[in-house]
Amino acid sequence: MNLDWPAIVADLEQLLKLRSIPFGMKLYADRAEMEAIPRIRRPTAVHTLDQLVGQASRLGWTVGVTSEDLVGAQCRAVVGLGSAKTDDWKSGRHMTGVWFETVEDASAHQAAMHCVPDGQFDALAIGPLAAEKLGDPDIALFYATPGAMIYFINGLQWSGYKKFDWGVVGESACADSWGRALTTRAPSLSIPCFAERRYGGVLDDEMLMALPPEYLIKAIAGMRALSKNGFRYPFAQYGVQQDVRAGMAVSYRP
């Protein structure tokens, strides 16, 4: 697509007042392709994928990952690295009594997750979009506050309106964001889970958007149109006791 990533990132940061770095993910069938990325970092310890995402979004690193770099099958399964989706993994046994009361509950959770199929990819690279090391990433991602997220969604809906329906699996919410975006090729909003916050450095007021890159262009154009209409983030507070008619006349044209 030959997108101008530094310009796109600058637009996102200006429009949404982002506090972390927009980043991308790209899957590789051959790990040698991932390892050929200039100055790519390879983990020297075992991590959760949340930690490696945090290294990209908080530290600005471009990191290459293979299945052996990840702590367990749950991380590997979402991005399809290794042969993670065994019958034991599908049973949810490892989450029973910890996150879910019964093995039936845990198994239902595993089945509800959006995961890249096993056997297609051998490596994953994660890195800042503006660094342009990933070329055309499979998906782009960014963290933002709920207010910034609804403004971004308003931008997506400015033209060619579509209602977005998103689900919440609970723990393993990476399946709601990068798992869903990689498998459905659609914008995917998530509420980051315990593991993302504890191990990935996600802040308490942050949500995560993951989506194919072309949607960023659409959203930025929509937000610029909304800005011309006087709608900008952060939203100015009107006041809970003021006569609302003057404000409503501008925002909704009653």
Q: What confidence tens digit (pLDDT) does each residue in 62-110 have?
A: 999 999 999 989 999 999 999 999 999 999 999 999 999 999 999 999 9
Percent of the chain predicted with pLDDT > 70: 99
Q: Which residue has the tokens 């154009």?
A: 221
Q: Which residue has the tokens 């982002």?
A: 18
Cα torsion 116, 120, 123, 129: sign: negative
Q: Which helix (H) or strand (E) segment is 45 a member of?
A: none
Mean pLDDT of 46-50: 96
| Cα–Cα nearest to 46, from 75, 12, 81 | 75
Which residues are registered as beta bridge partners of 142?
209
d(CA 98, CA 73): 16
pTM of the model: 0.94
**Strand, helix or coil for residue 11:** helix
Contacts of 164 (CB under 8 A, 6+ apart): 153, 156, 187, 189
pLDDT of residue 170: 97
Q: Side chain identity at 83, as an amino acid letter? A: S
d(CA 16, CA 146): 11
pLDDT over threshold 60, residue 32: yes
Please, are residues 8 and 217 in contact by the beta-carbon 8 Å criterion? Answer: yes
pLDDT digits (tens, 9 = 90+) for 170-217: 999 999 999 999 999 999 999 999 999 999 999 999 999 999 999 999
| Cα–Cα nearest to 78, from 115, 113, 39, 121 | 115
pLDDT of residue 247: 86
pLDDT of residue 117: 96
d(CA 1, CA 70): 31
Q: Which helix (H) or strand (E) segment is 152 a member of?
A: helix 146-157
Q: Which helix (H) or strand (E) segment is 212 a member of?
A: none
pLDDT digits (tens, 9 = 90+) for 115-174: 999 999 999 999 999 999 999 999 999 999 999 999 999 999 999 999 999 999 999 999
